Amino acid sequence: MKALGFLRRLAPRLRPHVWAISAASVLILLSSAIGLAFPLFVRDLFDAAFLESNADRLDQYAILLLALFAVQAVVNFAQSYLTAAVSERVIATLRIDLFAALASQTPGFYSNRRVGELSSRIASDAGLVQQVLRFGIPELLRQAVFLVGALVIVTLTSPRLTLVTLTAIPFAIGVAWFFGIRVRRISTGIQDTLAAAVARAEQVFTQIRVVQSFGREPYERGRFELEVEETYRGGLRRAVARASLTGAVTFTAFAAIVLVFWEGGRLVLAGQLTFGTLIAFLLYAMSIAGAISSVAGFWTNVQEAAGAARRIFEHLDREPAIRDPLTPRSLPTPITGRVRFDGVTFRYGNDLPLVLEGFDLDIQPGETVALVGSSGAGKSTVAALIPRFFDVEDGSVSVDGVDVRELRLDDLRGVIGIVPQEPMLFAGTVRENLLYGRLDATKAEVVRAAKAAHAHEFISGFPDGYDQAVGERGVTLSGGQRQRMAIARVMLKRPSILILDEASSSLDAESERLVQDALARLMEDRTTLVIAHRLSTVIEADRIVVIDGGRIVDIGRHAELLDRSSVYSRLYRGQFEAALASVEASGG
Ligand code: ADP
């Protein structure tokens, strides 16, 4: 019964449907009762109509039985509809909750997992649970009721024949148990390998250019094949287990029927049993056998669903590592936009090395601070701590003097705008992508933001303008266009604090100029932290912060740093000099 434990977890979700579930249960009882009554009518039919050669009685019984089965059909329809309605509702809600639970996990959670695997929790695992609510459990109930009723009736009819029948039951149950557990184990394995294969496929699809540029289609096909072949072998093993189950149970059932026929026939011959009773008994025995075998079948489904439910609840139960505080403080309105790091120590995991150590930085309202440092120095990490994508291990990050851990995430993130290095667009229209910045922005505001970000020009060039589909199954935007879209989106949001992660690869000169100009407008009157890759950015920054190995090695303006900081001059020669040369060549 451990497998039914997941129903306890589902109970709060089933409770609102208690009336529908009760009604369905009553209908199941009714339908079982009709099934139970059928052999009794058959008995009377044989004993009364045939033995007395009464044709009128035969007609009456035929009509009565037809009516009975008509009623049963209606009852079954109603029950089937009710269980479908409840299970669809419960699973829809479960899927929504699972999505919400997953979406509230931290970026750290996602960097340790494969997205495809999480998607399959929402799709196939939830599907398995739904099937069991829809069919498995109602059928188990129906068969169980039928089984108990039939056993009572046959015991009353002929204890001796009942005893003969019952010898088969322990055997059938033993077989069902043994193979049922096996089927569940194999199924869990299949689900897991399938999830892994699907996850791999998703990665290949999203990185199709990398795959094709290396000509790795055959390699990927090989990897995929390995995993799918594994599920194939699992499927075969499950088929063997299932077929063994069905075969063994069916044989047991028919063996029992033969036994009853043999023993019952002798009783009829000895005049201790009427012929009608033997027929009725046989009908019961067959139905009992049928009930037992279908209980076994549905039981394996329940086992599968139990595994699926366990995986779903594992995610539902997982508290996000970063949550709203119990007693949040509020930010002053309007905020000034001061951002301060105070002795921040941070690492990505307990067993990973420190990324930041005793990091102090005080960014004044409206100031533009450029972070420079070699790759892996910790620049992105510094930026990720402000919107609290991760929590510090020691020290604190504060906005307008309030520790970010004391703020509601919505409040904190509401005042921060981020332009990522490689902005991605959602599949949808241009407008939908821009409105992501502020859902209730008016059409005029959207256009104004797009104009300020130099995005309006190319958007107007699209056949459908702002309603142009972009991203998946839409037009593909260039890197510079995507950046300007990202800038417009943040403009709509109107954050007080801006985090820019500059693209390290340079755009063509015209694009570059448009992006720079858009960024300059975006940065006006905003506190800005920019992970700098462009010379113009570092030259214009109020302060340049040089990071090396998670520590600040120097702070200053371009000229002074060039004079005194060896780390900065090295970076400058590597990253910025080429850009400088081109600026000088053009007389800038
Ligand atoms: P930068 O932006 O300066 O290139 P990062 O802040 O991205 O540097 O990285 C700093 C260090 O933290 C690097 O050693 C990097 O490998 C490590 N790191 C970055 N992100 C993660 C992560 N999600 N999990 C584990 N380590 C990470």
Q: How many Å lie between the centroid of ligand 1 and the Cα of residue 321?
A: 19
Taking alpha carbons only, the member of 182, 205, 397 closest to residue 304 is 182
Domain co-membership, 504 together with 485: no
Domain co-membership, 152 together with 240: yes
Q: Quick one: which atom of ligand 1 is closest to the CA of 378?
A: 6
**Distance (Å, whole) CA 405 – CA 323:** 9
Domain co-membership, 384 together with 531: yes
**Distance (Å, whole) CA 437 – CA 413:** 12
Give the end of a domain, one of 494, 515, 535: 494
Split into its structural domains, the chain has a count of 3
Taking alpha carbons only, the member of 490, 496, 493, 539 closest to residue 515 is 490
**Atom 5 of ligand 1: nearest residue by CA position:** 378
Domain co-membership, 388 together with 244: no
* Tokens representing residue 529 in the block: 């932290």
**Distance (Å, whole) CA 287 – CA 260:** 13
| 453 domain-assigned | yes
CATH number of the domain enclosing 222: 1.20.1560.10
Domain co-membership, 489 together with 341: no
Q: How many Å lie between the centroid of ligand 1 and the Cα of residue 71?
A: 69
Domain co-membership, 540 together with 554: yes
Q: How many Å lie between the centroid of ligand 1 and the Cα of residue 65?
A: 76
Q: How many Å lie between the centroid of ligand 1 and the Cα of residue 213?
A: 27
| 322 domain-assigned | no
Domain co-membership, 250 together with 150: yes
Average pLDDT over residues 75-89: 95
Q: How many Å lie between the centroid of ligand 1 and the Cα of residue 378?
A: 6
Average pLDDT over residues 59-72: 90
> Does residue 95 contact residue 162 with C-beta atoms inside 8 Å?
no
Q: Quick one: which atom of ligand 1 is closest to the CA of 374?
A: 3
| 362 domain-assigned | yes
**Atom 15 of ligand 1: nearest residue by CA position:** 376
The residues near 543 (Cβ < 8 Å, ≥ 6 apart) are: 367, 368, 369, 370, 555, 556, 557
| 321 domain-assigned | no
The residues near 3 (Cβ < 8 Å, ≥ 6 apart) are: 184, 299, 302, 303, 306
DSSP string, 156-182: HH-HHHHHHHHTHHHHHHHHHHHHHHH
Give burial (CB, 10 Å; 0-12/13-18/19+) of 462. Answer: middle
| 284 domain-assigned | yes
pLDDT recorded at residue 579 = 57
Q: Quick one: which atom of ligand 1 is closest to the CA of 547?
A: 3
Domain co-membership, 379 together with 268: no
Domain co-membership, 78 together with 33: yes
Taking alpha carbons only, the member of 109, 110, 116 closest to residue 200 is 116
Q: Which domain range does residue 264 map to? A: 2-316
Would you say residue 504 has pLDDT above 80?
no
| 169 domain-assigned | yes
Strand order, beta sheet including 402-403: 354-363, 339-347, 394-399, 402-403
Q: Which residue has the higher pLDDT, 120 or 81?
A: 81
Q: Given phi > 0 = left and psi -120 to 50 = alpha, else beta, which region is 14? A: alpha
| 324 domain-assigned | no
Domain co-membership, 534 together with 502: yes
pLDDT band, residue 500 (cuts 50/70/90):
very high
**Atom 13 of ligand 1: nearest residue by CA position:** 376
Q: How many Å lie between the centroid of ligand 1 and the Cα of residue 386?
A: 15
Give the end of a domain, one of 436, 471, 494: 494
**Ligand 1 pocket, CB under 6 A:** 111, 348, 352, 355, 373, 375-381
> Does residue 516 contact residue 524 with C-beta atoms inside 8 Å?
no
pTM given for the model: 0.80
Domain co-membership, 244 together with 354: no
Would you say residue 256 has pLDDT above 60?
yes
- The rounded mean pLDDT for the chain is 88
Would you say residue 493 has pLDDT above 50?
yes
pLDDT recorded at residue 588 = 40
pLDDT recorded at residue 580 = 54
| 88 domain-assigned | yes
Domain co-membership, 406 together with 449: no
DSSP, collapsed to helix, strand or coil, labels residue 112 as: coil
CATH number of the domain enclosing 472: 3.40.50.300
Q: 3-state SS of 214-262?
A: CCCHHHHHHHHHHHHHHHHHHHHHHHHHHHHHHHHHHHHHHHHHHHHHH
> Does residue 392 contact residue 345 with C-beta atoms inside 8 Å?
yes
